[in-house]
Structure 1
């Protein structure tokens, strides 16, 4: 999980909410143009990554359905107050299917039922006070650490202490969203192996390790021509260490 810098609500959602303040999400997305604008806006705010696990969100193609869906962080089914969680822009996140869909794009890599993650185990639970909300965490320092040898995720306790992040809630984020699932470990390990191989190649060519890390950070930790971050951004950031932090400072990274 990384910081999401949420921008203003898309125009069609804002206009619809003002016209029909008690309407449900399902009615809003009935219209293709409204649905697409909201989905694209969500993906743009998140740099093309799942709000929870940071896998790259995929559009549908001839080989499968999109690995993307809209998640309501606070359950939209909560009618205990007059607040309409359905249409609250700050409540909408973009997620992958968490390994639950057999007909998703790249299903061989992404489908791992019953090894589910992200909003699949969350379901309709109200975890507002249980897990971290990616809209409300700091963009720096990184709150999690990653093991290159197996792709495991753990807390960066020192960094959590530095910025006053509740470590119990941060650990619950890993546990409850199953961010350390076998599938996600495998995918993160592959991403980390790739950058490690690139680092070794640069060193073999005679480059100093600090310079090699800096080159990789400049090449990897930036948005591409689609305005997307690399998949498993935080894993790469953690692996590249201080070189990553220098790069993110240089580009004015805020989430």
Structure 2
């Protein structure tokens, strides 16, 4: 999980909430244009990645439905205080289906057959005091890392201490959202194996390990033509180490 920047609230959401302050998310999204405005802004803010696992948020195609849905970080069903969590822009995130849906794009890889993650295990639980909110993470340093040999996500305890963020809360984020599910581990391992192959090739051409990592960081850790970050951004970042951090500082990375 990485830092998520929050852009301006979509005008259609703000206008609807101002006129219908007690209405629900279900009522809001009945008009397709309203739902699309929120979805588009979330995808833009998150640079095309799931707010939790960092998989690419794929749009609907002739091959399947979109792997995307709107997540409420704080349960929208909570009525313990006089606050409408349904329509709170700061409470909305863009997520994948967490391996729970058939008939989506790339179903063969993405459908988990019970191996779920992200908002699926989270459900309607209020985990605000237990897990980290991606909106509140620092851009530097990275709080998570991935093991290349397994793809398993782990907490960078040193960086958590440096950022004065609870390492226990970071660990709970992984466990509660199942960000170390076998499905996600497989995705990350496959990606990191490929980056390792590219790194090895560059070293074989005569580059030092440091120079090869710098070259890959400049290639991989940039937004594409759609202004999307690469999938599993944090895993790529952690694998490329200090060279990735130098590059991200150089491009003024903020999330």
- The 5 Å alignment of 1:1-255 reads 1-255=1-255
* Structure 1 runs of 4+ with >4 Å offset: none
The offset of 1:167, in angstroms, is 1.5
The offset of 1:203, in angstroms, is 1.2
2:77 counterpart SS class: coil
Question: Aligned partners of 2:16 and 2:214: how far apart in 1?
Answer: 46
The offset of 1:223, in angstroms, is 0.7
The offset of 1:103, in angstroms, is 1.2
Question: Aligned partners of 2:209 and 2:159: how far apart in 1?
Answer: 24
1:63 counterpart SS class: coil
Question: Cα RMSD over matched residues?
Answer: 0.8
Question: Aligned partners of 2:248 and 2:69: how far apart in 1?
Answer: 28
Number of residue equivalences: 255
2:136 counterpart SS class: coil
Question: Aligned partners of 1:152 and 1:128: how far apart in 2?
Answer: 24
Unpaired runs of 5+ in structure 1? none
The offset of 1:153, in angstroms, is 1.0
Unpaired runs of 5+ in structure 2? none
Output one character per residue of 1:194-216: Cα deviation in whole Å (capped at 9) or x when no partner. Answer: 11111111111222221111111
The offset of 1:163, in angstroms, is 0.8
The offset of 1:19, in angstroms, is 1.4
Please give the TM-score of this superposition, normalised by the length of structure 2: 0.98
Please give the TM-score of this superposition, normalised by the length of structure 1: 0.98
